[in-house]
Amino acid sequence: MVVPQKVKNFLARGPGISLGYNEITFFAPESLEQSQVGYRVDADGNSLITGEEGAWQEEWLVIGNDGLGDPIIVDTSNDDLMVLSAMHGEGSWESYAIADTLVNFQKIIHLFQKVSEGRAYPDELKNNPISESEIEIVLKSIEKQNPGFDLTYWEILFENE
């Protein structure tokens, strides 16, 4: 498994985000290979890449997960490193794009880190709710960076139930 230097640099920047009841956690660069278990390989190290529809893809590298346990995936098939997610526990992997490049994904994470300050935990968020205008600003910024992308993934991060 070859990990692009851009991915290592991204992961070395530190923690993910926590916003009320939702979060995105990233794996440490040094644990990236063992973090592929259940995605790229099984517990015995056997490849789960079969080439079949719905199977894990050779070019996918899981770099973290969200609060629901869904993987955050970097598509290493090109230098832009598109970022994807997919629902776990569905019997097959049907990925969808959440950022068109790793650089734009980093910008999105930075936006969420800023808006989550003082709102990382449910009680903090309850005492300091996010205004509709703050949500709109973040979502418009994501849309500007990733034209034509479905914003549902990011909208869900603002839900707190």
Q: pLDDT tens, 54-100?
A: 999 999 999 999 988 899 999 999 999 999 999 886 678 999 999 99
In angstroms, what CA-CA distances link 31 with 34, 51, 58, 124?
Answer: 6, 26, 19, 31
Model pTM? 0.92
Please name the residues in contact with 43: beta carbons below 8 A apart, sequence gap of 6 or more. 37
Comparing 13 with 11, the larger pLDDT belongs to: 11
* Distance from C-alpha of 134 to C-alpha of 97, rounded to nearest angstrom: 23
Range of the domain at 107: 5-157
Please give the helix or strand (H or E) that residue 123 lies within, else none: helix 122-127
Three-state DSSP class for 30?
helix
pLDDT for 100-117, tens place per residue? Answer: 999 999 999 999 999 999
CA dist list (Å): 137 to 9, 109, 141, 155: 27, 14, 6, 12
How many whole angstroms separate alpha carbon 132 and alpha carbon 140? 12
What total of structural domains would you count in the chain? 1
At 141, list the tokens: 């910024």
Query: For residue 16, which of 75, 82, 83 has the smallest C-alpha distance?
Result: 83
Calculate the CA 54 to chain-centre distance.
Answer: 19
